[in-house]
Amino acid sequence: MAKYTQDKEELTQQKAKKFNLWLGMIGMFMMFAALSSGFIVYTAGGIDRGIKTILPEAFVYSTILIVVSSVTIQLAYNAARRTLFDKQKLLLAVTILLGVGFFFMQVYAWGVLTARGVVFVNSNASQSFIYVFTGMHLAHIIAGILVLVRALVGRIRNIPQVNNVFRMDLAALFWHFLGFLWIYIYVFLLLNQ
Amino acid sequence: MSTIANAGTHSVDHHGDHGHHHESFWTKYVFSQDHKMIAKQFLITGIIMAVVAMLLSILFRIQLAWPDKEFPILEVFLGKWAEGGRINPEFFLALVTIHGTIMVFFVLTAGLSGTFANLLIPYQLGARDMASPFMNMLSYWFFFVACIIMIASFFVESGPASAGWTIYPPLSAVPKAISGSATGMTLWLISMTLFIASQVLGGTNYISTVLNMRTKGMDLWKMPLTIWALFLTAIVGLLSFPVLVSAVVLLIFDRSFGTSFYLSDLVVQGQILPNEGGSPILFQHLFWFLGHPEVYIVLMPALGLTSEVISTNSRKPIFGYHAMVYSLIGITILSFIVWGHHMFVTGMNPFLGGVFMITTLIIAVPSAVKVFNYLATLWRGNIRFTPAMLFAIGMVSFFISGGLTGIYLGNSALDISLHDTYFVVAHFHLVMGSASIFGMLCGVYHWFPKLFGRMMNEKLGYLHFWLTFIGAYLVFFPMHFMGIDGVPRRYYAFTEFPFMEKWISVNVFVTWAAIVAAVGQLAFIWNFFSSIWSGKRATQNPWGSNTLEWTTPVEHIHGNWPGEIPTVYRWPYDYSKPGHHEDFIPQTVPFSETMSSNLPHDFEGNAEAERIQREWELANNNPQTEKETE
């Protein structure tokens, strides 16, 4: 295993940057917490409100996709730490593909909902909320995929190992967060369907 | 939001470049990543925005004072918005909206926190820069673009947003409702989205820097109160601004996509709108969940700055340092559970109203703790009335006089008659507007030598203070009485109503006071900009301060300290310590160099240090400390 020396100030900086990501995730979580409380307040406002439909099966498949991708990104991170660069590249690419798959699975689920008449522009805004939750989450997924691509590009360009591991560390953390966020949203919607 | 993650990883590339740094004009003055330059950028942008917002207020004050008079000059500048020399009603609404938005968000949030968090967090904690300088730069540029877009809304055909700074739907959600809800509202929403991105980027950085990058010896309880205040402000911002994002996103969907989150049963200009089933109250909940913490985002930095300035210029330790910190923490927590007091008259369940009333009134406790501590710090101090000190004392004055009326407004029964009257306008302009702007100005006068290496002119500072201080009271105090009489806020020509006719003379008086106070700001503008180039050169520590920023060289350098970062040994408020030959001891002076003034509690139970101190006292037979230890 290769050891690289870093001066202390640089180490503090990396620690602080990782901390920034944690804070950012708290901010993102607050945004979804606000949407959840908005949903609850809205839905409690009348008997004619509520999701009033069974969530499409596609959401189960997308959940599987994102859980598997969480495993692959973790394996990619472990590979990066052990300097198994080919394995890291492969697993990263798989994670990105799973992420893209998740994206399209969600879009497909929208199609299923729309076909059922559960549309975005709806006088029962509880149903519109399904699109807002998943849409805002997808916006974050796009950002997450960009972070993954950036880690992959860094690996291909052969950046120093410290930076490679650091990028992977942040990418893995963020990607796990997006997975948890989706599970939270899905469970929240399931409990309210 | 997504930018955070990107920036967090992006900036990895940038941190290796201390020391070997090629600075061109662009990287030094424009796309700077240096916290000191970013602080200046925030400050100057903030000042420009403040001037704009102040001019807007003068325009609507003119309308309120002389509703029947024509001012042809207005038509020259404003064209169709002031046809025949009179501000037209729709433009009046736009003026109050944009005045509020700019003052609350662009001046007192970004201008205040942006300037002083950027300047002081690395300086007072002993850090070379922020955790992520790149995110910091992004934070400023998002803010700058947000400013440009907000100003640009004056140049669109239908005019700027006009639904009030709280942009309540349905007015803001139906583009056809008033001209201001058309393109102007869209620009407002875009601008605020960028603004929130800026605040979140900045705030994350502030928190992370405070928690991770303090110098050796700087534990949390040795941090100056400025840092505590800015740190807690950033936490409040991080938790509340994302909620506004959610509220705004839903509003955008309602406006542009036809959803019905907030809209229901509307008839606009004879047409029935298709939206059904929405709840405008939902918006108010989401908005005020940000909106009330926002009040403390505006106020807490001012509290922090004045703590520092009052202690330094009273030459006394701040009274009740721990109580000051705990009251800030108390305000931070309480700020999240009081938002309902903005909504007492929305048909809220009276029981819920009672809960919000109690939480609101409890905020008076930490606020009073702070006020009494300020007064106790001033009490028998060796006070130096610098302009910064005057503004700090002015801040305390406004905090008291504005805070007292909060007790009335926080009462759900009284609020029924006071809601949306000039009483509210008077209350928040004193406690949040004037108090915070005084805190900001106090900071500018005090830290100007650190920002620009020169001193501001004191005489102009005094002139500025008295004109602003008296002006602010003359403008806002009479509004209490109007509010008690039932005069509603945001009305274009309320003196047309017979029962409010009598207030026309007060309106004239208030407008003249506002004009004089506004002219008084020229003293500041002139002083500020001319001192940047031709002020008296500052010494390294002009105020005899203890905090770390005054140990840096006057000339700004990359990385702040030329050699090693200094180590901190003591709290920042050792002013006029008995037994010491000077009336201040900087945080960097170890106790071993101040044997004649050390007190038993300085050693925090370190037995070895106490023993050394006792031996020294026996050897030197120091009467001062002996008396203390007996």
Q: What is the pLDDT of residues B369-427, one digit of tens each?
A: 999 999 999 999 999 999 999 999 999 999 999 999 999 999 999 999 999 999 999 99
Chosen from B10, B235, B246 to mutate, greatest number of chain A CBs within 10 A: B246
Tokens of B120: 């002081």
pLDDT in tens, B90-113: 999 999 999 999 999 999 999 999
User: Is B182's pLDDT higher than 80?
Assistant: yes
Q: Which of B207, B239, B250 sits opposite A38 (nearest CB)?
A: B250
Q: What is the mean pLDDT of residues B10-16?
A: 39
Measured between CA atoms, the residue of chain B closest to residue A167 is: B9
Q: Which residues of A fall within a CB distance of 8 Å from B132?
A: 16-17, 20
> Are the beta carbons of B259 and A121 separated by less than 8 Å?
yes
Interface of B with A in 266-295 (CB under 8 A): 275-279, 282, 285-286, 289
Q: Which residues of A fall within a CB distance of 8 Å from B340?
A: none
Q: What is the mean pLDDT of residues B42-65?
A: 96
pLDDT in tens, B205-219: 999 999 999 999 999
pLDDT in tens, B240-280: 999 999 999 999 999 999 899 999 888 888 888 888 888 89
Closest CA to A192 of A35, A47, A55, A45: A55
Q: Cα(B124)–Cα(B587) distance, rounded to whole angstroms?
A: 10
Q: Cα(B191)–Cα(B177) distance, rounded to whole angstroms?
A: 21
Q: Cα(B421)–Cα(B477) distance, rounded to whole angstroms?
A: 14
Q: Which of A9, A49, A140 sits opposite B277 (nearest CB)?
A: A49
Tokens of B626: 């002996």
Q: Which residues of B fall within a CB distance of 8 Å from A151?
A: 9
Most confident of B126-130, B155-159, B445-449, B578-582: B445-449
B218 touches chain A (CB under 8 A): no
B446 CB burial (10 A radius; 0-12, 13-18, 19+): buried
Q: Give the minimum alpha-carbon distance from B379 to chain A in angstroms, rounded to a whole number.
A: 41
User: Is B9's pLDDT higher than 90?
Assistant: no
pLDDT of residue B22: 64
| Percent over 70 (pLDDT), chain B | 95
Would you list the DSSP string of B382-441?
-----HHHHHHHHHHHHHHHHHHHHHHHTSHHHHHHHTTBHHHHHHHIIIIIIHHHHHHH
Q: Give the minimum alpha-carbon distance from B13 to chain A in angstroms, rounded to a whole number.
A: 8
Q: Which residues of A fall within a CB distance of 8 Å from B200?
A: 24, 27
Which stretches of B535-593 are DSSP H helices?
A: none
User: Is B19's pLDDT higher than 80?
Assistant: no
B27 touches chain A (CB under 8 A): no
Q: Cα(B280)–Cα(B299) distance, rounded to whole angstroms?
A: 28
Q: Cα(B151)–Cα(B125) distance, rounded to whole angstroms?
A: 36
pLDDT in tens, B331-359: 999 999 999 999 999 988 899 999 999 99
Q: Provide the mean pLDDT of chain B.
A: 91
Closest CA to B241 of A137, A33, A126, A129: A33
Q: Which of A17, A21, A41 sits opposite B282 (nearest CB)?
A: A41
Q: Which of A121, A142, A167 sits opposite B9 (nearest CB)?
A: A167
Would you list the DSSP string of B3-30?
HHHHHHHHGGGGTT-SSS----HIIIII
> Are the beta carbons of B282 and A42 separated by less than 8 Å?
yes
| Residue pair B184/B161 in contact by the 8 Å Cβ criterion | yes
Q: Cα(B435)–Cα(B395) distance, rounded to whole angstroms?
A: 5
Q: Cα(B12)–Cα(A15) distance, rounded to whole angstroms?
A: 11
Closest CA to B532 of B455, B462, B442, B464: B455
Measured between CA atoms, the residue of chain B closest to residue A49 is: B277
Indicate the SS3 state at residue B488.
strand
> Are the beta carbons of A132 and B253 separated by less than 8 Å?
yes
Q: Give the minimum alpha-carbon distance from B238 to chain A in angstroms, rounded to a whole number.
A: 6
CATH number of A67-193: 1.20.120.80
Q: Which domains does chain B have, with CATH numbers?
A: 1-7+27-157+172-223 (1.20.210.10), 559-629 (no CATH)
> Are the beta carbons of B1 and A45 separated by less than 8 Å?
no
Measured between CA atoms, the residue of chain B closest to residue A13 is: B131
The percent helix, strand, coil of chain B (3-state, each to 5) is 70, 0, 30
Q: Compute CA distances B605 → B144, B598, B626, whole Å.
A: 50, 13, 18
Which residue pairs, CB below 8 angstroms and at least 24 apart, start in B505-510?
Answer: B506/B478, B506/B481, B506/B482, B507/B64, B507/B65, B508/B65, B508/B66, B509/B474, B509/B478, B510/B61, B510/B64, B510/B65, B510/B474, B510/B475, B510/B478, B510/B479
Q: Which residues of A fall within a CB distance of 8 Å from B243?
A: 30-31, 33-34
Closest CA to B209 of A31, A61, A23: A23
B132 touches chain A (CB under 8 A): yes
Given pLDDT bands bounded at 50, 70 and 90, which one contains residue B21? low
Kindly give the confidence (pLDDT) of every residue in chain A, 193 residues in length, as a single tens digit, with 9 standing for 90 and above: 334 444 677 788 788 889 999 999 999 999 999 999 999 989 888 888 888 889 999 999 999 999 999 999 999 999 999 999 999 999 999 999 999 999 999 999 999 999 998 999 888 889 999 999 999 999 999 999 999 999 999 999 989 988 899 999 999 999 999 999 999 999 999 998 8
Other C-beta atoms closer than 10 Å to the C-beta of A115 total: 10
Q: Cα(B326)–Cα(A147) distance, rounded to whole angstroms?
A: 39
Q: Give the minimum alpha-carbon distance from A126 to chain B in angstroms, rounded to a whole number.
A: 8
- Cα torsion for A63, A64, A67, A73, to the nearest 10°? -120
Model ipTM? Answer: 0.91
Q: What is the mean pLDDT of residues B562-582?
A: 93
Measured between CA atoms, the residue of chain B closest to residue A169 is: B9
The gap from C-alpha B515 to its chain's centroid, in whole angstroms, comes to 23
pLDDT in tens, B283-314: 999 999 989 999 999 999 999 999 999 999 99
Q: Which of B205, B243, B260 sits opposite A30 (nearest CB)?
A: B243
Given pLDDT bands bounded at 50, 70 and 90, which one contains residue B623? low
Gap between the terminal Cα atoms of chain B? 59
Helix axes A125-156, B2-10, angle to 10 degrees: 10
Q: Cα(B565)–Cα(B548) distance, rounded to whole angstroms?
A: 10
Given pLDDT bands bounded at 50, 70 and 90, which one contains residue B13? very low
User: Is B2's pLDDT higher than 90?
Assistant: no
> Are the beta carbons of A31 and B207 separated by less than 8 Å?
no
Most confident of B145-154, B601-610, B618-627: B145-154
B209 touches chain A (CB under 8 A): yes
User: Is B469's pLDDT higher than 90?
Assistant: yes
B79 CB burial (10 A radius; 0-12, 13-18, 19+): exposed
Q: Which residues of B fall within a CB distance of 8 Å from A170?
A: 5, 8-9
Q: Give the minimum alpha-carbon distance from A48 to chain B in angstroms, rounded to a whole number.
A: 9
| Percent over 90 (pLDDT), chain B | 82
Q: Give the minimum alpha-carbon distance from B567 to chain A in angstroms, rounded to a whole number.
A: 15
Indicate the SS3 state at residue B579.
coil
